[in-house]
Amino acid sequence: MFDKFEDECGVFGIYGHPEAANLTYLGLYALQHRGQESCGIVASDGVSLRAYRKNGLVADAFRNNEVFDKLPGQNAIGHVRYSTAGGNDPKNIQPIMVDYVRGSIAVAHNGNLVNAQELRNELEQLGSIFSTVADTEVIMHLLARAQSDSLADRVVDALKRVRGAYSLVFLTETRMVAVRDPNGFRPLILGKLDGAYVVASETCALDLIEAEFVRELDPGEMIVVDKDGLHSYHPLEEAKPSPCIFEYVYFARPDSTIFGREVYGVRKEYGRQLAREYPVDADVVVAIPDSGVPAAIGYAEESGIPFELGLIRNHYVGRTFIEPQQSIRHFGVKIKLNPVREVIEGKRVVVIDDSIVRGTTARKIIKMIRNAGAKEVHVRISSPPTSYPCYYGIDTPTRTELIASTHTIEEINRYVTSDSLGYLSEEGLHKATGSCEGGSCEGQFCTACFSGNYPVKFPRLKADKQLGLF
């Protein structure tokens, strides 16, 4: 709630189930936290592809049951989206579906291609016409130009040209293909349900449809599912795996298991480690709901300070709301959160959240807590300062907008008006995540938003350096 990074996207696919479109709807419902701007499903009946895509939340977009009558077939893929590249224009809603000389194909993409603009410029010079501004369409043009007879080979030929983060699910009339980039930035899970194969961004989607968890796709792995079953390949050039650690910090649902660990347990350990690094004499620990709750529980357990629900979130607030004509100060925060005065009044309060981005919302929430009667407000953040933007599928502000890139921790403390401020250290983050094998706590995850060490380089970084942003 402290000026969050925006979620990226979620993908889902199922092959070989008579209720493919309905199950894809449920899978997207479970992945709604990964994108709230738009959603879509493409289904195959073995002969043709049919699509339904719409702006808005999954439950609203698929409100009419008649939609599923128009999505027949045993195979389907789906997507929930928050725009990282391409804006929120309806034409950019995924899955993207195209017809080309070899038939029809659709794709759902979680991630971001760092060389998309270069490739787009090249393809346009060669005569390609783009109908969206989403970087995902670049992959479709590259695939259409590939000369191989095999679908798998055409996908590989296309992906050998792109750089960046991608967990992709393709669907043709007769096949489903899923592939994860060589760095493994974003999660991609494989499951089974009544003989059907399922892929999803997180295990919570498998849980909802009662599918069996099989495993995660390896970084650089591609699976092809057809009438003959599942085939696994590792056709892409190897890279050092660098899964996004912010999936643990904030993006993934706490009941999911990704990168080999359950998210809830990792976040609780972040809170415990934070209590070891930044203890404070206080009366109560409260969380910024919902993302700060597991870390707050961990902090309370480690410190011995009781955890209470000191801030209540209104779960029925959408992405937009109508403000009253009479101005109410901090209305945007007050409609989402309300303090419990009985918990806070007269208390020294420790407030736990996962991150501070710009600092403006943190300042408003702390004022709200003080107005509820808190004697002291101590802020603890269960991740290091976010000083650098992400270019791998998360919509983050520019570096100049990130408060930690231009202010010291003490300056941030004064700005947000807390009595003290403590961030989890990078070493503590790795230790709590369990990424200190062999005595080293670095290099097993992508921590570019904290460290500025980007696993995949690209031209934009050069431009940012010239602007003095790095």
Which H or E run includes 410?
helix 409-416
In this prediction, residue 327 has a pLDDT band, given cuts at 50, 70 and 90, of low
- Mean pLDDT (the chain, rounded): 90
Per-residue confidence (pLDDT) for residue 315, from 0 to 100: 80
pLDDT at 334 over 90: no
Segment 156-177 mean pLDDT: 97
pLDDT at 329 over 90: no
* % residues pLDDT > 70 (the chain): 89
What is residue 116's three-state secondary structure?
A: helix
Start-to-end C-alpha separation, the chain? 26
Per-residue confidence (pLDDT) for residue 463, from 0 to 100: 44
Q: 271-308 pLDDT, tens per residue?
A: 999 999 999 999 999 999 999 999 999 999 999 999 99
- Sketch the domain layout of the chain as residue ranges: 9-241, 265-316+330-437
Per-residue confidence (pLDDT) for residue 47, from 0 to 100: 97
CA angle (195 as vertex; 41, 75 as ends), nearest 5: 20
Per-residue confidence (pLDDT) for residue 74, from 0 to 100: 98
Per-residue confidence (pLDDT) for residue 91, from 0 to 100: 85
Per-residue confidence (pLDDT) for residue 331, from 0 to 100: 65
Extract the annotated binding site for Mg(2+).
291, 353-354
CA pair distance 377, 366, nearest whole angstrom: 7
Per-residue confidence (pLDDT) for residue 439, from 0 to 100: 56
Segment 462-470 mean pLDDT: 43
CA pair distance 464, 445, nearest whole angstrom: 23
pLDDT at 132 over 60: yes
CA pair distance 41, 22, nearest whole angstrom: 10
The class level of CATH for 265-316+330-437 reads alpha beta
Segment 194-214 mean pLDDT: 98
In this prediction, residue 5 has a pLDDT band, given cuts at 50, 70 and 90, of low
Per-residue confidence (pLDDT) for residue 1, from 0 to 100: 53
Extract the runs of DSSP E, i.e. beta strands, from 61-120.
75-81, 96-100, 103-113
Q: 364-376 pLDDT, tens per residue?
A: 999 999 999 999 9
Q: 375-411 pLDDT, tens per residue?
A: 999 999 999 999 998 888 776 667 888 999 999 999 9
Q: 233-253 pLDDT, tens per residue?
A: 999 999 999 999 999 999 999
pLDDT at 426 over 90: yes
Given a contact cutoff of 8 angstroms between Cβ atoms, the answer to whether 176 and 75 are in contact is yes
pTM: 0.92
Segment 75-87 mean pLDDT: 79
Task: List the one residue out of 281, 393, 400, 296 whose CA is nearest residue 348.
Answer: 281
Note whether 9-241 and 265-316+330-437 share their fold. no
Extract the annotated binding site.
244, 291, 353-354, 390, 446, 449
Q: Which residues contact 372 (CB under 8 A, 6 or more apart)?
A: 339, 340, 341, 344, 345
Domain 9-241: assigned CATH number: 3.60.20.10
Per-residue confidence (pLDDT) for residue 466, from 0 to 100: 37
Q: Residue ranges of the alpha helices (H) in 51-150?
A: 58-61, 66-69, 116-125, 136-145
Residues serving a catalytic function are: 9
CA pair distance 139, 158, nearest whole angstrom: 6
